[in-house]
Amino acid sequence: MSEEQFTNISMVVCLSGLIIFMGFIIWDLGKQSNAGKFGTAVLFLVLGLGVGGFIFKNVLVEFLVLKK
């Protein structure tokens, strides 16, 4: 396994773990603040958009910049 392959695999695994952990943090934040179902859904929507933006940026870089 080359260093590039190891880096790509570890980035996917570590970032996936971080995103899952952030989801747990958002759920715990909604639970501790007594936000209710709607408040927790809003927390996931708003804070999840940041994660979605990060993933979308990486997809754009893969397809638009690196495919040339």
pLDDT 10s digits, 6-26: 998 998 899 889 989 989 999
- 53-59 contacts at long range (C-beta below 8 A, 24 or more positions apart): none
Q: Specify the DSSP class assigned to residue 60.
A: H
Burial class (CB in 10 A: 0-12, 13-18, 19+), 23: middle
Structure tokens at 43: 């927390």
pTM over 0.85? The answer is no
**CA 6/CA 2 separation, integer angstroms:** 6
Over residues 28-55, the pLDDT tens digits come to 999 999 989 999 999 999 988 888 898 8
**CA 56/CA 51 separation, integer angstroms:** 9
